[in-house]
Amino acid sequence: MKSTLGNQSKPSSAGRQGAVRDNAATGDWAALRAAGLSGPVEFKGLLVGEAEAVLKAIGEPRYRARQVLEWIYRRDAASFAEMTNLPASLRERLAAVAGILRLAPATKNVSPTDETTKYLFRLPDGEAVECVLIRYRHWASACVSTQVGCRMGCAFCASTIGGLVRQLAPGEILDQVLRLQALTGQAVGRVVVMGTGEPLDNYEATVKFLRLLHEPYSLGLGYRHITVSTSGLVPGIWRLADEGLPVTLAVSLHAPRDDLRRRLMPVAKRWGLDELMGAADAYTSATGRRVTYEYTLIDGVNDGRREARELADLLAGHLAHVNLIPLNPVSERTFRPSRPGAVREFQVSLDRAGVPATVRRELGPDINAACGQLRRSSGRGRAPGRTGKGPA
């Protein structure tokens, strides 16, 4: 019988290269598993030490990690193929075992009055998150979200109506900033963590995001250009004070006495004003930073002379600044914003008492710029029940 071996065709060059790539990828997967890393590895959200561990696991020199992260964070690379200072073989191997997250814009609203720009971004699992670019004369500020939904239950807020859906990963928070820069062409000089969600309820991801913002291979923002807002999670404030990150702390106060604050904010049922002010003072002692107290003015609820006097008494002797915020109405809520005259009178009362106070410029009321409004108007965030329990 005539042998057929001599008639078998040799593998093509492309086929041999494909087999080599497949074998390399198989080896890389095994190496990552051996190093305790599950794949695919998401690079957006990694600190340089974590990226070095990935590169080391697949036998590459550690310095490649910084090169990869600079492409992702500083050059906004969407794929490893764009990283032209890396060997082509390494780019192919990384593409086989790793990914680079990129949020997809779903909705964009631009205010015709002040050019405030709000985006709703789609996440890989189909959920949505919103963020805002706020333009000032000399810089632009990004307001980012840390959760999909929120479980704090504040009585005047749209974010919490559908409850908490899930936490955001550090890379999902950071990519909001990167996408705002890429889509608007505006460099972000300041970041406020005041979007949807309670940052200290997603503590680890929030702190990692803060570190990533500051790293020189990322955006290189100074910590003093970053503000973190909290509804008053006292243990989280104490933890943040020990992190060595001198960011500005903004405490959502909204009432100068416990009974009223409990009506507006369920978190106040767990930690009273004495505990909250003690934690804020500890933050000031640890960081040297003045604490900002956010106070949303609600008509007939917390905007009277009594409340102004009580707020001045509460903050006397503290290194504090009050940010007065006219309420942004939410259709599902019955609260209404204070009259302009009442806002001015409240501010003057604080100033006379020696408490510095400013009225926040109203930004984007015509584009659903308040937390949670754009997501809800898109049909998301309308779940009939909450996910997770609040702090009450």
Catalytic residue among 143, 150, 154, 371: 371
CB atoms within 10 A of CB 9: 6
C-alpha–C-alpha distance, residues 81 and 65, integer Å: 15
Quote the Cα angle for 231-234-238, to 5°: 125
C-alpha–C-alpha distance, residues 202 and 133, integer Å: 22
Catalytic residue among 60, 130, 172, 198: 130
Which one-letter amino acid corresponds to residue 233?
L
Q: Residue 371 catalytic? A: yes
C-alpha–C-alpha distance, residues 256 and 12, integer Å: 77
Q: What is the DSSP letter of 119?
A: E
The neighbouring-strand residues paired with 191 are 142, 226
User: How far is residue 71 CA from its own chain's centroid?
Assistant: 21
The neighbouring-strand residues paired with 171 are none
Token pair in block for residue 183: 């889509």
> Exposed, middle or buried by CB within 10 Å (0-12, 13-18, 19+), for 150?
buried
User: 202-227 burial by CB neighbour count: b if 16+ within 10 A, else e?
Assistant: bbebbbbbbebbbeebbbebebebbb
Q: Residue 154 catalytic? A: no
Q: Identify whether the C-beta of residue 137 lies closer than 8 Å to the C-beta of residue 387.
A: no
Q: What is the DSSP letter of 335?
A: -
Give the 3-state secondary structure of 18-77: HHHHHHHHHHHHHHHHHCCCCCCEECCCCCHHHHHHHHHHCCCCCHHHHHHHHHHHCCCC
What's the chain's length in residues? 392
- Residue with the two structure tokens 């990167």: 178
Catalytic machinery residues = 130, 371
